[in-house]
Amino acid sequence: MQITKTEFVKSSANLNQCPKPDKPEYAFIGRSNVGKSSLINALTGNKSLAKISSTPGKTQLINHFLIHDEWYMVDLPGLGYAKISKTQRKKWEKMIYDYFLRRLNLLNTFLLVDSRHEPQKIDLDLMAWFGSNQLPFSIVFTKSDKMKPAALKANIEAYKKRLLEDWEELPELFITSAEKKTGLKEIKEFISKTNGIFHFNKL
Ligand code: GTP
Ligand code: MG
């Protein structure tokens, strides 16, 4: 799938403000600075679609982008951003959990993790929460360009091993670099396939 038409729809402070849930939707979540906004821009080939910043905490609202007038990509605020107040964090968490639980057209969430890091508790906890709420998710390893191939491979293998301690089956995994534009085709193919299922179910 080649993405040629993208449109920023709106930023919402809560679920009620989100666009009508009448199109397939895919969310991008992960720790602050992991590269969510960069990945959305790389996938769409539109550098200025989602706001990117080297300062964590840039994305603060639920941002909807409409692709080909057919489906949504959603850029969510970063998890675990240390420099916000406890009250602000509680507010974000409520907004995000509410969104996941009640967004009826959400077909999959891409949980982004930095390919250089070991599995982080905050990510493993979120996966467990997705699991207990039967919410589908995939894992996207980001910034793979920052590692040598052998070290990258070793890290991914170690990550999978850790996942298999909690899960019987591995979720779908994607290895990406927004910088080098790798791993993007696979994500778009996954989305394209999932969109097909959505249309089929609606009939
Ligand atoms: P928040 O909105 O703050 O939660 O961050 P985010 O997850 O949206 O991260 P963002 O896309 O803003 O990227 C954070 C930083 O990482 C920026 O400086 C990006 O240029 C850099 N970055 C993102 N993806 C990649 C990548 O694949 N490779 C490299 N080398 N840098 C990347
Ligand atoms: Mg962002």
Sequence-distant (6+) residues with CB within 8 A of 200 are none
Pocket test for ligand 1, best of 29, 34, 38 (most atoms within 8 A of CB): 38
155 CA to middle of ligand 1, Å? Answer: 19
Q: How far is Cα 103 from Cα 98, in angstroms, rounded to an integer?
A: 8
User: Which two three-digit tokens encode residue 50?
Assistant: 């989602």
pLDDT at 202 over 60: no
| E strand residue ranges, the chain | 6-12, 25-30, 62-67, 71-75, 106-114, 137-142, 173-175
195 CA to middle of ligand 2, Å? Answer: 24
Which residues are near ligand 1 (CB < 6 Å)? 30, 32-38, 52-54, 56-59, 77-78, 142-143, 145-146, 177-179
Name the residue with tokens 């508790």.
121
> Which residue segments constitute the domains of the chain, with CATH numbers given?
6-202 (3.40.50.300)
Sequence-distant (6+) residues with CB within 8 A of 41 are 47, 48, 49, 50, 52, 178
**pLDDT tens, position by position, 117-153:** 999 999 999 999 999 999 999 999 999 999 999 999 9
Candidates 143, 132, 137, 153; CA nearest to 178 is 143
Q: Which residue has the higher pLDDT, 181 or 32?
A: 181
**Largest separation between any pair of C-alpha atoms in the chain:** 47
**pLDDT tens, position by position, 32-65:** 899 999 999 999 999 999 887 777 666 678 999 9
User: Which ligand 1 atom is nearest residue 178's CA?
Assistant: 27
Q: Which residue has the higher pLDDT, 11 or 86?
A: 11
Q: Which DSSP category does 20 fall into?
A: P
181 CA to middle of ligand 1, Å? Answer: 13
pTM of the model: 0.94
Tell me the sheet residues that pair with 66: 7, 72
- Ligand nearest the Cα of residue 180 is 1
Question: Lowest-pLDDT range, 23-27, 158-162, 171-175, 193-197?
Answer: 193-197
Name the residue with tokens 């493993």.
124
**pLDDT tens, position by position, 63-119:** 999 999 999 999 998 877 667 788 888 888 888 999 999 999 999 999 999 999 999
User: Which ligand 1 atom is nearest residue 54's CA?
Assistant: 18
Q: In this structure, which residue's CA is closest to atom 2 in ligand 1?
A: 59
Q: How far is Cα 135 from Cα 189, in angstroms, rounded to an integer?
A: 20
48 CA to middle of ligand 2, Å? Answer: 12
143 CA to middle of ligand 1, Å? Answer: 8
- The letter for the amino acid at 3 is I
User: Which two three-digit tokens encode residue 161?
Assistant: 């091993």
Sequence-distant (6+) residues with CB within 8 A of 92 are 60, 77, 84
Q: How far is Cα 106 from Cα 127, in angstroms, rounded to an integer?
A: 16
